[in-house]
Amino acid sequence: SGLSGDSEDSLPGGVNPRKPAAPRQKINARERYRTFNVNAAYEALRVLIPTEPVNRKLSKIEIIRLASSYITHLRNILRAGTDRQPCLSHKWENSAEYVDEDSRLTERVSICTFCLKPR
């Protein structure tokens, strides 16, 4: 019972079941690297989105939502040909194509956060 051949540490092949296997360490390192790259990509996207204050901390979902909103805002600037509340003017232009005048008056008016940003 006290012999080294009976010990759990000396299983055939020199494998110790209590030590983490090298593949697990590689998997963990790969996951840390992947997480680092995903977080770096979020940060790269984050710096492209104008916010007030500039260094405001955003969650990942906020980054995605703001990026989507900002892309829509920029697209509306291109369509409207102006940077003065293009999302509002684009909304009215589009709604005039398929909605009559009476129902347009009851529509909720919304302006994106980027249209409201002071110059």
Per-residue pLDDT tens for 6-59? 555 555 555 566 666 688 999 999 999 999 999 999 999 999 998 888 888 999
pLDDT, tens only, 79-91: 877 767 767 655 5
Residues 115/88, Cβ–Cβ less than 8 Å:
yes
Global model pTM greater than 0.85: no
Listed residue (74, 100, 106, 68) closest to 87, CA to CA: 74
How far apart CA 16 and CA 73 sit, in angstroms, is 59
With a CB cutoff of 8 Å and minimum separation 6, the contacts of 52 are 117
Would you give the DSSP letter of residue 83?
Answer: S
Render pLDDT for 88-104 as a digit per residue (tens, 0 to 9): 655 545 554 444 455 54
